[in-house]
Amino acid sequence: MAGVEPPPARGATILHADLDAFYASVEQLLEPALRNRPIAVGGSVVLAASYEARSYGVRGGMPGWRARQLCGDLLFVGGHFERYQQFGDDVVSVFHDFTPWVERVSIDEAFLDVAGTVHLLGAPTEIAAAIRRRVRDEIGLPVSIGVASTKHLAKVASQVAKPDGLVAVAPGDEMSFLDPLPIGLIWGVGAATERRLHDVGIFTIGQLAEAGSPILANLLGQAAGTKLAALSTNVDERAVREAAGPKSMGAQAALGRRAPTPQLVRDTLGYLADRVAARLRKATLAGRTVTVRVRFAQLRSVTRSVTLPTAISTTLTLTEIAEGLAGAALRDNEREREISLLAVSVSNLHPEHSLQLELPVDAPAWRRDAAPRPRSVVEAGRWGVDRSVDAIRDKFGRTAVGYAAVALSDAERVPEEFRELAERGPGGSSGEE
Identity of the residue numbered 237: E
109 is a catalytic site residue: yes
Query: Among the options 109, 352, 358, 423, which is catalytic?
Result: 109
Contact between 413 and 402 (Cβ < 8 Å): no
Cis check: omega of the bond before 351, within 30 degrees of 0: no
Cis check: omega of the bond before 262, within 30 degrees of 0: no
Distance (Å, whole) CA 404 – CA 401:
9
DSSP-based three-state secondary structure for 350: strand
DSSP-based three-state secondary structure for 20: coil
Angle value at C-alpha 136, between 238 and 419, nearest 5 degrees: 60
> What are the two backbone dihedrals, phi and then psi, of residue 182, each rounded to the nearest 5 degrees?
-70, 150
Distance (Å, whole) CA 99 – CA 113:
7
DSSP-based three-state secondary structure for 174: helix
DSSP-based three-state secondary structure for 151: helix
Alpha carbon 58 to chain centroid distance? 21
The H or E element containing residue 244 is none
363 DSSP 8-state letter: G
Which candidate, 119, 192, 115, 117, places its Cα nearest to that of 154? 115
> What are the two backbone dihedrals, phi and then psi, of residue 105, each rounded to the nearest 5 degrees?
-105, -15
| Distance between start and end Cα atoms, the chain | 34
Question: What amino acid positions are annotated as catalytic residues?
Answer: 109
